[in-house]
Amino acid sequence: MLSGKRIVIAIGGGIAAYKVCSIISDLFKAGAEVRVILTQAATQFITPLTVSTLSRHRAYTDEDFWQPIHQRPLHINLGEWADILLIAPLTANTMGKLASGLADNLLTNTVLASGCPILLAPAMNTQMWEQLSVQRNWQQLQQDSRYYFIGPGSGLLACDRVGAGRMAEPAEIFLALQSLLYTQGKRDLAGKQILISAGGTREYLDPVRFLGNPSTGKMGLALAQAAIYRGASVTFVHAPMDTSLLASVTNLRRIPIVTAEEMQQAMLANFPAADVTIMSAAVADVKPANYSTVKLPKKELPDSLPLAPVADIVAQLGKLKQESQLLIGFAAQTGDIVKPALEKLKKKKLDAIAANPVDRVNAGFASDTNQAILIDRHGRQQQIEPCSKLQLAHYLFDFIREIATYS
């Protein structure tokens, strides 16, 4: 998703500037071309030598901007070259300039000379962030369709205050850049309500033992992240997941659950309002027939475990689905993945299904990559070769949009 992409990173004057170094490094490793702009204040926190070493290209400062050494103005070249522009950290000063359309340095002139999407990652002291003037500028920028926003988060700041103003983490910004580069800034899901289930449910035998599966929820989280950057509002019903993964996606309405029964209740409650529902969770098929409220001693564990069925959530949703709604399923399979996926598609009244192999290297549970065959109710199939789960998520939303177009 990043190979060959042209990214301009503008670094503002704040302590969070050091975090941007890892973003530059990761982008280069992913095959992107990176150009870095440092404001005068930013050079007080990190040096041009640091970022030029990481990006393998010279860094630009305001001194370059005012020197007549280029055939064309530097800000014009950078603005026209960029596929996307990241400003991180976005300071209160730069935010005010952007909101007013001012251009008095290389960064702000490059913004006005560009036509690409711009991702803003603000960072500042909590008191500064909460100022009426800063919030007014922030709201003003949100009226401009060119700008996309990530953060700020809350936590311990460099000023020792705990509160809002912390810059989004590099991993979160990296994901956002990938989505925006894929969509080219288009919000083609704007106004849509997307309901997504994710992770593996746990069916307990006693307080410490359960039947489960290896699902980490990474695929569902990638779907949520892709939907958000395409303009959708997302409700995310998820089984227990790594909190660091959850922190990588903001603007998410999360409903944490543990068991299949809890997921069933959450999905049924939120389904009527959803335009698109995607069941990517690995929901249990059975559960222990008996539950002990206290930990069973090892000697009291049964030699054979009586099991009871678990409600088929996606089948229930299929029966409730209205004509205006789309219901998408996942089929994690081994061996022949198409035949059982087609059976599930028809039996459960799905509009489409993603059949993905879990017996191949770097696909399925816990992996950062995946592959699939997408199948819709009309029989159309699309082979998705191994790619990142985020990229697969975007392919699936493209596939869903085509279903909606000819339905």
Q: What is the pLDDT of residues 58-79, one digit of tens each?
A: 999 999 988 776 678 999 999 9
Provide the pLDDT for residue 70. Answer: 61
Position 188 in a domain: no
Q: Are residues 115 and 237 in the same domain?
A: no
CATH of the domain at 352: 3.40.50.10300
The residue behind tokens 């029964």 is: 261
* 229 assigned to some structural domain: yes
| Percent of the chain whose pLDDT exceeds 90 | 79
How high is the pLDDT of residue 407? 47
Model pLDDT for residues 298-323, shown as the tens digit of each residue: 999 988 999 999 999 999 999 999 99
- Stated as kind and residue range, the H or E segment containing 163 is strand 162-166
Report how far residue 167's alpha carbon sits from residue 6's, in angstroms, rounded to the nearest whole number.
23
Tell me the helices (H) and strands (E) count for the chain, helix number first.
15, 19
Q: What's the chain's length in residues?
A: 407
Structure-model confidence comparison of residues 66 and 173, the more confident one: 173
* In a domain? residue 26: yes
* Domain match, 240 and 173 both: no
Question: What's the token pair of residue 243?
Answer: 């909190």
Enzyme catalytic residues = 159
Q: What is the pLDDT of residues 207-256, one digit of tens each?
A: 999 999 999 999 999 999 999 989 999 999 999 999 878 877 878 899 99
Long-range Cβ contact pairs of 53-59 (< 8 A, separation 24 or more): 54/21, 54/24, 54/25, 54/28, 55/24, 55/28, 56/28, 57/33
Structure confidence at residue 177 (pLDDT) = 95
- In the predicted model, is pLDDT for residue 205 greater than 80? yes
Residue 304 belongs to some domain of the structure? yes
On whether both 306 and 260 belong to a single domain, the answer is yes
Is there a single domain that holds both residue 56 and residue 166?
Answer: yes
C-alpha 334/C-alpha 135 separation (Å) is: 52
Distance CA 353, CA 344 (A): 8
Q: What is the pLDDT of residue 69?
A: 62
- What is the mean pLDDT of the segment spanning 90-111? 96
pLDDT digits (tens, 9 = 90+) for 348-362: 999 999 998 888 877
Q: Which of 183, 203, 232 is the last residue of a domain?
A: 183
Query: Domain span at residue 142?
Result: 6-183
Question: Cβ-count burial of 53 within 10 angstroms (0-12 exposed, 13-18 middle, 19+ buried)?
Answer: middle
Whether residue 16 lies inside any domain: the answer is yes
272 and 136 housed in the same domain: no
Residues 56 and 149 in one domain: yes
**Averaged pLDDT, 136-164:** 87
Say if residue 131's pLDDT is above 90. yes
Say how many domains are in the chain.
Answer: 2
Mean pLDDT within 94-111 = 96
CA-angle at 172, arms to 55 and 240, nearest 5°? 145
pLDDT of 342 above 50: yes
Q: Do residue 31 and residue 168 come from a single domain?
A: yes
Q: Is residue 88 part of a domain?
A: yes
Do 88 and 219 have their domain in common? Answer: no
CB 177 within 8 A of CB 187: no
Boundary (domain end) residue, out of 125, 153, 183? 183
In a shared domain, residues 254 and 385: yes
Asked whether 247 and 264 are in contact (CB, 8 A), the reply is no
Q: Report the DSSP pairing between strands 307-309 and 286-288.
A: antiparallel
Residues 179 and 225 in one domain: no
Same domain, 168 and 256: no
Higher pLDDT, 265 or 164: 265
Q: Same structural domain for residues 170 and 199?
A: no
